[in-house]
Amino acid sequence: MPKLCVVVPAYNEGESLREFHARLAAVFDRIDMPCEVLYVDDGSRDDTYAVMCSLRDADARVATLKLARNFGKELALTAGLDAADADAVVVIDADLQDPPELIPAFLAHWREGFDVVYGTRATRAGETRLKKFTSAAFYRVMEKLSATPVPRDTGDFRLMSRRALDALKRLRERQRFMKGLFTWVGYKQKSVVYERDARFAGESKFNYWRLWNFALEGITSFSTAPLKLATYVGLGTAALAFVYAVWVFGKALLFGDRVQGYPSLMLAVLFLGGVQLMALGMIGEYLGRMYIETKQRPLYLIDEAIPASQRGTAEEEKTQRQAMMAGVD
Ligand code: UDP
Ligand code: MG
């Protein structure tokens, strides 16, 4: 029988997890196939892992994975997906912004033959105008710049089929912009529109500085357009400079050359200096990422991996745990 695994990355979500699990368990009860949830503790500093362990003790469908430290959501998700062994995998946030009740709808589309079913946010409750605006702007820019445009207003909340998951697992880059990677995989994709709720408890872990870096990550991992920008800005300035040179030279021929033009000289020097530094910075963004990529460090480290107890005997559990740990590379 096909099996479903729900992967939940959590960082300091101790307050939400019990409520989250109660809602997810209610959904599982309505699904007529074996279900499992894998909670990934991304090095939380609160009682998140303790809560996960107590959920695992109380419910045989719960597996847990504890990372060695906080690696960030993208890597926590990667660790979870590497460990997930199922025919359909769902990725969902632990803060209840994405309703688990949508999972049966995802499954229905999966049964129709879709490989990726993703949630598209119709509304985003509890988020500021500025966040909505910057997020919308980001998706528009990505659409223009990237050859793998990320669907608008789509988060990580989605279902993936076995083959989509296997394809995703082959992308081992260190700079992980998951939304982009999900899209890159392709296959038959389907969007399901939903209302995004406000957080159940706590605050978003993504402040604007983190979001800005996240956006840079997205753009640099999926587009090299910024690298070409310098070429065109350079060409444009050179063309303008040529026109200006003709004018300056002609004026000098006709009216003689009195030493003048300090302001324009200063302007040109400062402007070009700025443009050059910006272009260098852009090259630096890519170079830095290449540097990190060449180090070939493991993506994440696992502290403890415990499979769901419904999977079988202690002996089987041991081999499964070893298999889960072996997922690290
Ligand atoms: N998260 C994580 N590691 C981190 C930051 C966040 O695993 O370093 C998890 C977090 O617990 C939540 C999900 O990623 O389940 C989304 O985080 P958040 O709600 O802060 O992001 P937002 O919804 O504001 O984009
Ligand atoms: Mg959230």
- Structure confidence by residue, pLDDT tens digits, 98-119: 899 999 999 999 999 999 998 8
Distance separating alpha carbons of residues 8 and 284, to the nearest angstrom: 34
Q: Is 39 in the pocket of ligand 1 (CB under 6 A)?
A: no
pLDDT at 81 exceeding the cut of 90: yes
Centre of ligand 1 to C-alpha 74, Å, is 9
Amino acid in the structure at residue 55: L
- C-alpha angle with apex 248: 245 to 249, nearest 5 degrees? 80
In this structure, the chain runs to a length of 329
SS3 for 310? helix
Strand 154-161: give its sheet, edge to edge. Answer: 189-196, 116-124, 154-161, 88-91, 4-10, 35-41, 62-67, 302-306
Amino acid in the structure at residue 296: Q
Nearest C-alpha to atom 21 of ligand 1 is from which residue? 204
Structure token digits, residue 98: 């994405």
Nearest C-alpha to atom 12 of ligand 1 is from which residue? 93
Nearest C-alpha to atom 18 of ligand 1 is from which residue? 204
Which residues contact residue 326 at a Cβ distance below 8 angstroms, ignoring those fewer than 6 apart? none
Centre of ligand 1 to C-alpha 2, Å, is 29
Centre of ligand 2 to C-alpha 107, Å, is 23
Give mean pLDDT, residues 116-130. Answer: 80
Judged by its nearest atom, the ligand closest to the C-alpha of residue 66 is 1
263 or 172, which is more confident:
172
| The pLDDT of residue 172 | 87
In tens, the pLDDT along 132-146 reads 788 788 888 887 887
SS3 for 187? coil
Ligand 1 atom having least distance to the Cα of 199: 19
Cα 41 to its chain centre, rounded Å, is 17
For residues 42 and 76, the answer to whether their CB atoms sit within 8 Å is yes
SS3 for 102? helix
pLDDT at 317 exceeding the cut of 60: no
Ligand 1 atom having least distance to the Cα of 205: 20
Give mean pLDDT, residues 242-268. Answer: 80
Q: Is 244 in the pocket of ligand 1 (CB under 6 A)?
A: no
Judged by its nearest atom, the ligand closest to the C-alpha of residue 97 is 2
Give mean pLDDT, residues 273-290. Answer: 84
Q: Which of 52-66, 207-221, 236-250, 251-265 has the highest mean pLDDT?
A: 52-66
Centre of ligand 2 to C-alpha 167, Å, is 26
Centre of ligand 2 to C-alpha 307, Å, is 26
Q: Is 72 in the pocket of ligand 1 (CB under 6 A)?
A: yes
Q: How many CA atoms, within 13 angstroms, populate the side-chain half-sphere of residue 327?
A: 24
| The pLDDT of residue 327 | 63
Structure token digits, residue 122: 């119709």
| The pLDDT of residue 41 | 94
- pTM of this prediction? 0.74
pLDDT range class, residue 318, cuts 50, 70, 90: low
In tens, the pLDDT along 8-28 reads 999 998 888 999 999 999 999
Beta bridge partners of 116: 160, 189
Q: Is 41 in the pocket of ligand 1 (CB under 6 A)?
A: no
Give mean pLDDT, residues 264-289. Answer: 82
For residues 63 and 56, the answer to whether their CB atoms sit within 8 Å is yes
Structure token digits, residue 95: 């803060």
| The pLDDT of residue 185 | 84
Using CB atoms within 10 A of its CB, is residue 217 exposed (0-12), middle (13-18) or buried (19+)? middle
Give mean pLDDT, residues 315-328. Answer: 62
Centre of ligand 1 to C-alpha 30, Å, is 27
| Strand 35-41 with 62-67, pairing | parallel
Ligand 1 atom having least distance to the Cα of 76: 7
Write out the H or E segment, with its range, that includes residue 69: none
Cite the DSSP H helix spans in 62-124: 73-83, 103-111
SS3 for 318? helix
| The pLDDT of residue 276 | 84
Q: Is 95 in the pocket of ligand 1 (CB under 6 A)?
A: yes
307 or 48, which is more confident:
48
| The pLDDT of residue 196 | 77
Centre of ligand 1 to C-alpha 95, Å, is 8
Cite the DSSP H helix spans in the chain: 14-30, 48-58, 73-83, 103-111, 129-145, 162-169, 178-185, 208-222, 225-255, 262-294, 314-326
Write out the H or E segment, with its range, that includes residue 94: none
Ligand 1 atom having least distance to the Cα of 155: 25
113: DSSP letter: T
Distance separating alpha carbons of residues 154 and 182, to the nearest angstrom: 11
In tens, the pLDDT along 28-75 reads 988 888 899 999 999 999 899 999 999 998 888 999 999 999 998 989
Q: Is 208 in the pocket of ligand 1 (CB under 6 A)?
A: no
pLDDT range class, residue 259, cuts 50, 70, 90: confident
Distance separating alpha carbons of residues 199 and 253, to the nearest angstrom: 71
* Mean pLDDT of the residues in the chain: 84
Mutating to test ligand 1, I would choose from 6, 7, 8, 11 the residue with most ligand atoms within 8 A of its C-beta, which is: 11
